[in-house]
Amino acid sequence: MAMKVGRRSYWGMVWSRFRRNPMAMVGLFITCFFWAVAIFAPLLANDRPIIAHVNGSFMFPLFYSKGETIKSDSSISLDRWKSFRQYKAISPFQRLNEKELSGWIIWPIVPYSPTEHDLMEILSPPSSKHWFGTDDRGRDVLSRMIYGSRVSLSVGVVAVGIATVVGIILGGIGGYFGGWVDALVNRIIEILLTIPTFFLIIAIIAFLPPSIYNIMVVIGLTGWTGIARFVRAEFLKLKAMDFVMALKALGASPVRIIFLHMLPNAMAPVLVAIVFGVAGAILTESGLSFLGFGVPPPTPSWGDILSQSRDYVEFAWWLTVFPGSAIFLTITAYNVVGEGLRDAMDPKLYR
C-alpha cells in the first residue's frame, strides 16, 4: 500500500533520527571505512603492480596467478615484476627506463603481500618502507592487517547471519504457536545461556579441523539465543493483533503469516541485535585467534597478529598497538551504531 504524499516512511524517520546522532554517524563512517578496506584489499596491499604500461602495451599483473607469464609484446613473469619493486620510489607511481623495457608502473599503496617473508626485516619498527613495521617472520604488518580485516568482518557477518536465521525460525515458531512448542524453545535457550559461550566455542572447535568456516558456523550456532528471545517477544505481542486474527480467519497458512506478515513487523529490535551481534562475533574471533584456535596460518587475522606480540611485548610495541587499535575501533563503532539505531527506533524518545 503506497504511503500518502508528504508523509515519510517508518525507515525514513529512523534514518532521519539516526543521522542526527553525531556519535552514531562517526561509528557508521568507521564501519564503512573498514568494509571498504576489506573489499579493496588486493588493490591496497599486494606484491604485484595494479597496472603497467610497458613498451606501449597495458598490462594488469594483479589479475594473474602466481608465477604466470603475462602475454604482451614483452612477456614478463610475475617474479620479474617483484624485482622492479626495489627501484620503487615512495610514490606508488614508478617509471621504467631499462634497456629492453620502458614505460610506467602503478603499485598498490602497500607493495607487500600478507604472506611475503623478508628475513632481513624481521621485527623491524615502523618506517617509510614498512609503515606498521614487520612481524617475527619479516611480514609487513599493515598488509596483514588489511587482509585480516576480511577475516574479522566476514566472520562477524556470516556468523551473525547464521545466528539470525536460526533465531528467527525458533523464536518465531515458539512465539506463534505457544504451548509446548514455546516451552521447548525456551528450555533450549535457557540451557545454552547457562553455558559460557566462549568456552563452549573453544570446546567445539578443539574437535574440528582448523578452518575459518568452522569458526563461522560454531559462532553462529551458539549465538542465536538473543535474537530468538527478541523475535519470540515480538511475536507474542503481534499474534494478538487484529491483522493476524484476520489472516487466520481467512485461512492463511502459519508459514505465510509468520514470514510474510509478522516477521517484517518484528524486525526492528532484531536489526539492533544483529549490529551488536556482529561486534560480539568479531571480538570472539579475535579472542580465538589470540589463543591459537582461530583461522589456520598463514591466513592473517587481527587476533593472530596480536598473539605474536606476547613474546616481543617489551620492544615490538607495534604488534600490539596497531591490531589492538583496529579491534577496539571496530567493536566500538559497531556498538555505537547499534546504540544509535536502538535510540532511533525507540518512539518514546521522540514526539
User: Model confidence over 9-37: pLDDT tens digits?
Assistant: 777 888 888 888 899 999 999 999 999 99
Question: Residue 349: which pLDDT band, with cuts at 50, 70 and 90?
Answer: low
Q: Between 84 and 149, whose confidence is greater?
A: 149
In angstroms, the CA 83 to CA 289 distance is: 34
pLDDT per residue as tens digits for the range 101-141: 778 888 898 888 888 888 888 888 888 888 898 888 888 99
In angstroms, the CA 118 to CA 133 distance is: 12
Q: Give CA 158 to chain center in angstroms.
A: 8
pLDDT of residue 33: 94
Mean pLDDT of the chain: 83
Cell numbers standing for residue 293: 584456535
> Please, where in the chain does CATH 1.10.3720.10 lie?
141-349
The whole-model pTM stands at: 0.84
Residues in the chain: 351
Question: Residue 3: which pLDDT band, with cuts at 50, 70 and 90?
Answer: very low
Number of C-beta neighbours around residue 87 at 10 A:
12
pLDDT of 62 > 70? The answer is yes
Which is nearest to 223 in space by CA: 267, 259, 189?
Answer: 189
pLDDT of 192 > 70? The answer is yes
pLDDT of residue 175: 87
pLDDT of residue 66: 65
Distances (CA, A) of 31 to 77, 204, 328: 38, 30, 12
Q: Give CA 331 to chain center in angstroms.
A: 11
Strand partners for 227: none
Write the DSSP symbol of residue 196.
-
Question: Residue 6: which pLDDT band, with cuts at 50, 70 and 90?
Answer: very low
Strand partners for 70: 76
pLDDT per residue as tens digits for the range 276-314: 888 888 888 888 888 878 787 778 888 888 888 888 878
Number of C-beta neighbours around residue 130 at 10 A:
22
Contact of 258 with 241, CB cutoff 8 Å? no
Contact of 170 with 224, CB cutoff 8 Å? yes
Measured between its terminal Cα atoms, the distance across the chain in Å is 25
The CATH number of 141-349 is 1.10.3720.10
Instruction: Provide the pairing of β-strand 93-97 with 69-70.
Output: unpaired
Q: Which of 41-50, 69-78, 241-250 has the lowest mean pLDDT?
A: 69-78
Which is nearest to 229 in space by CA: 186, 276, 259, 275?
Answer: 186
Cell numbers standing for residue 106: 602503478
Render the burial of 150-189: b for 16+ CB within 10 Å, e for the rest. Answer: bbbbebbbbbbbbbbebbbbbbbbbbbeeeeebeebeeeb
